Each structure stands twice: as structure tokens, then as C-alpha cells.
Structure 1
Amino acid sequence: MPNKSLPLENRVAIVTGGSRGIGAGIAETLASRGAKVAITFTSEMNKIKGFGTSADAITIQADLRNVASAKLIVDTTVKAFGPVIHILVNNAGVSYKGASIGTTSIEDHNSIFDVNVRAVFFMGEAVAPHLPNKGGRIINIGSAAGREPFGLPIYCASKAAIEGFTRCWAAELGSKGHTVNQVNPGAVETDMLREVDISVTNMLKAMTHMENRFGQPQDIADVVGFLAEESSRWITGQVISASGGLAMY
């Protein structure tokens, strides 16, 4: 019988960008449910200083702008936990300050798309051969900005792009018993939100119908935790707005 208190026991998960904010909340939630978690970080500045669970966890330094990082992450995870990877959470993402037409350089564009889009694709490609015979989970973290004109066109477009991966992978992997879904957070109280102009964040808070507050990382992590479990087996190809009503699909 499955351990109801540890529904992810003996499952292996990768969480990209798991050193802080939403990613850290997701990593801790999966670990608290029994998963063995590989957590990626970019630089020593955002490396996890402690992981307060009894579950097995490793950290992997990798810059997802480098295409080779996907293989590095998967190889390191397999070496630590064995050949099967049950859960992939594509959480790592970056934003930028440019907004209106004519203010975005090609370097800005590439910086956003390399992490928010290309890395998601190649992480999926690298993990797919290691999914179990049945019951694998790929969970992409998008943004409410993927469907709303919040004034960051390259960022919004990058988050919209991965919805295509989500649906196509769900169709392709469904016959093998794997699910692929996307979670679109709204305004969540993280370092990234604190970089946004206060006039914009005040607007987002006012538009968040649930209690008119910012989301917390745990609000998103709990949704991801559910999608990672067996109880979500009949949900696939979906984009779930976890935004407190900021975006309603």
C-alpha cells in the first residue's frame, strides 16, 4: 500500500531554479512528500544554504542558457538517484526591465528565450528517456503574463510559448501513461516581483481577487505537489491559473 503521508516516496524529481522563491517552495514541498530532489541553481549567490527536510536532495550548479546544461543536470541526477526520473519541474525563468517597442535588444531577447523557452524544451528532451514505464510527470511553470498584456512583451511571449510544449508533450507522452501540465502563477512575493515597478505591483495586487494579496511560493508549490502525485493521473495537457483570480481561464 502507498504511504499516504509520503505520496512521492521513492520518486526522483528535478526542480530547475530551485534555490529560492517559487522553486525553493516546490523543491521543499516535493521533498516533504517523500521525493528525492535534484535542485538546480545558477550561481553561488543563489545556492541553497540549507535544505530543511530529511529527504535526499542534491544541488546542481548549471546555467540553463547553456544547452549542455540539460544533459549535465540529468546525468548528475541519475548518478545520485538511479536511472529513473519520475518528475520534472521546469521552474527556472528570468525577466527583464525593457517594455515598449524599440527598447529591447537582441541580447535581451535571447537571454529571456534561452532560459524561459529553449531550456524548458531541452530539459524535457533530456528527461524523457528516463521517465518510468508509467506515471511520469512533467510540470512547466509559466505565468499569468503568458496570456495577459502586462507590458513585458518578450517575457509574456516566452511564457506563452511553453504552453505549446505542454500540450504537444501531453499528447505525445499520454499513451505511455505520463502527464504534462503547466502552472501559471500570478503575482507571487519573490525577488523577481520586487524588481517590478511598484505601480505595476500595486495594480496586480488590486486585480488579484482572492484577498487582494500577493501569492506566496507555497500557494504555487501546493498545486505542483498535487500535479506530481498519482491523484492527478487524469489531468494532462492543462494550463492551470494559480493566480488568486488575477487570471481566470
Structure 2
Amino acid sequence: MTRFDNKIALITGGTSGMGLATARRLLAEGAHVVITGRDKARLDAAVEDLGGDRVLAVRADVADLDDLSAMTSAIQERFGRLDVVFANAGVASFQPVGEVTEAEFDRVVDINFKGVYFTIQKTVPLLSDNAAIVINASWTLHRGLVTGTLYSATKAAVHNLAHTLAAELGPRGIRVNSVSPGYIETAMFHEAVAEETKPAVVAEVVSGRLGTSEDVADAVAFLASSEASYVNGQDLIIDGGLVAAIPGVML
């Protein structure tokens, strides 16, 4: 498949998990891919993993506007444009509302909302007409989760960007959608969910398994491709039925 031949794609938080899997998928379909991350060693490891000369790694913290400006300058110099943006970089944070500190609030909002917002703002001038933006949201914007007040609010905020930016960028033919992954087996998931509770988590999913980063990459590739040319301002939930259905074992 060559849906992305000669397309230029940016993936923030592209050194692991869903970002890395999406980079691998788009490369396999012909794209040139820019990945970002805060850690130089992890960036180098990701480039080695992905291989080839169609990968540009840029060290950037999405919460730092100077880093984002340097990132866009590097993309402009190397490629001159962007055709796909996957605003993926984010962090998890789960605690009761009474335990959320101002410092934690600022950290999570800076990365999950401010980082997405300004990633898009900085890259819009580079976007070709008929480009595609995909934002990584979360199933938690559709269903309440205990301890998820802060995290879920940031994900609801970035999904709302898909609605408003679809309207604003529509005249240029630029589509903006979000994906809402459910329980995806990534390093972040394993850090947030204790090992002994994982069987109970899986029991909530109608499909009977955790999702994979590749499941999300498939969805992002679809939304970024011409096959989704009439999909705009939407949220695609990738959760094995977690939000929409109750497994029989739960009744």
C-alpha cells in the first residue's frame, strides 16, 4: 500500500507506543516522517528502530513554544511542507480531585492541551492544502473515570479542537479529526494500571483484549489518508467496545 507516497508526516511523541507505531505504519506506506520527543537517547533509538533515510528526528518538548518554533523551522528547511500532523504527545495523570496539585495541573495541561494547541498553531503555515490533522484524545472524554478529572478534561479539550479547527481550516481543504484510544497496551498503560488489576480492566472490554499501538496506528493512517476525505471534525473511538457496550460478564 502506498497511500502516503511522498507525503510528509509529523508525529509528536513519536519515540514509543502509539506514536512510534504510527510512524512505522506511515513509513511502510511511503511517507517521509518527522518524529519528536524530549529525550535525545530515545529519539536516537526510535530512528534506529524505524531505519531508512525518510525519518527526521527533532528533539522538542511540545509544552515549550521555542522548541516548537525550532521544530517547524527544521521541517521547513528539510521538507518545505507538511501533509499530515498526528498531535500525539501526551502524559497520563490519575488521582482523586482533592489530590491534584497546582503543579500537576499545570504540567498536564501544558503537555496535553497547550502542547497540542501550539503544535497545530505552529504547523498550520506548513500544511499543504487538503492536508490532515489527527489529534490523540481518549475514551475518557466519552465516559467518566474515577481519578480522571484532570486527564479527561485535557482530552475533551483537544477533541473540541477537532470540531473548531475543522471549521476554521475547512476552506483550505484541511481535515481535522481525533482518535480516542481505549485501554492500549503501552508503557504508559503499564505505569498507570497495577498488574493485579489488569484482568479486571480487560473484563470491561467487549472484545476481550487490550488494544495495541498498531490498532491505533491503523486508525490514524485511515483518518490521514484520502480514504477519509469526507470524514471531518469527528472522533474515532478505538476501544474494543469499552464505551459503547457492557460485556455479559459484567451483568
- TM-score w.r.t. the length of structure 1 is 0.92
Which of 139, 153, 161 pairs up with 1:144?
139
The offset of 1:76, in angstroms, is 1.0
Q: Is 1:64 aligned to residue 59 of structure 2?
A: no
1:169-211 superposed Cα distances (whole Å, 9 cap, x missing partner)? 001111211110000000010011101233654333111111x
> Residue type matched to 2:107 in 1?
S
1:237 aligns with 2:233: yes
The one of 150, 155, 161 equivalent to 1:159 is: 155
CA distance in 2, matches of 1:38, 1:29: 13
The number of aligned residues is 241
**Whole-angstrom CA distance in 1 between matches of 2:236 and 2:105:** 26
Determine helix, strand or coil for the equivalent of 1:68: helix
Q: Residues 170-181 of structure 1 correspond to what in structure 2 (within 5 A)?
A: 170-181=166-177
The residue matched to 1:138 in structure 2 has which SS? strand
Aligned to 2:49: 51
Aligned-residue offset at 1:148:
2.0
Hey, which bits of structure 1, 4+ residues long, moved more than 4 A? none
Q: Does 1:36 align with 2:32?
A: yes
Q: Which residue of 1 aligns with 2:249?
A: none
Residue type of the partner of 1:171?
A
* C-alpha RMSD of matched pairs (Å): 1.6
Equivalent residue of 1:135, what SS?
strand
SS in 2 for 1:38: strand
Could you tell me which runs of 5 or more consecutive residues in structure 2 were left unpaired when the two chains were aligned.
Answer: 246-251
TM-aligned CA distance change 1:46 to 1:248, over 3 Å: farther
Shift of 1:247: 1.8
Residue number in structure 1 paired with 2:10: 14
Q: Aligned AA for 1:95?
A: A
Q: Deviations over 1:12-39 (max 9, x none)?
A: 1100000001110011111111111000
The equivalent of 1:73 in structure 2 is 71
Whether contact under 8 Å (2:75, 2:81) holds in the other structure is: no
- Superposed, 1:107-126 pairs within 5 Å as 107-126=103-122
Q: Give the superposition deviation at 1:147.
A: 2.1
Distance 1:53 1:34, change over 3 A: farther
* Aligned equivalents of 1:30, 1:187: Cα separation in 2: 23
Q: Distance in 2 between matches of 1:238 and 1:175?
A: 17
- Asked if the contact 2:92/2:192 (under 8 Å) is kept, the reply is no
Pick aligned residue for 1:206 from 203, 206, 220: 203
Q: Percent identity?
A: 27
Residues 206-227 of structure 1, C-alpha deviation per residue, up to 9 Å, x if partnerless? 11111x1110100000010111
| In 1: Cα distance, 2:44 partner to 2:138 partner | 24
Seen in structure 2, the aligned counterparts of structure 1 residues 200 and 163 have a Cα distance that, compared at 3 Å, is farther
Tell me which amino acid in the other structure corresponds to 1:101.
V
* Structure 2 residue matching 1:13: 3-state secondary structure: strand
Partner SS for 2:192: coil
| Residue range with higher mean Cα deviation, 144-153 or 56-65 | 144-153
Report deviation, 1:130: 1.3
* 1:155 partner letter: Y
Alignment-mate amino acid for residue 119 of structure 1: G
Q: Which residue of 1 aligns with 2:85?
A: 88
Q: Name the CA distance, whole Å, in 1 between partners of 2:193 and 2:121.
A: 36
Give 2:19's match in structure 1, choosing from 11, 20, 23: 23
The secondary structure found in structure 2 opposite 1:89 is strand
Q: Distance in 1 between matches of 2:206 and 2:72?
A: 39
Q: Is the 8 A contact 2:86 2:135 kept in 1?
A: yes
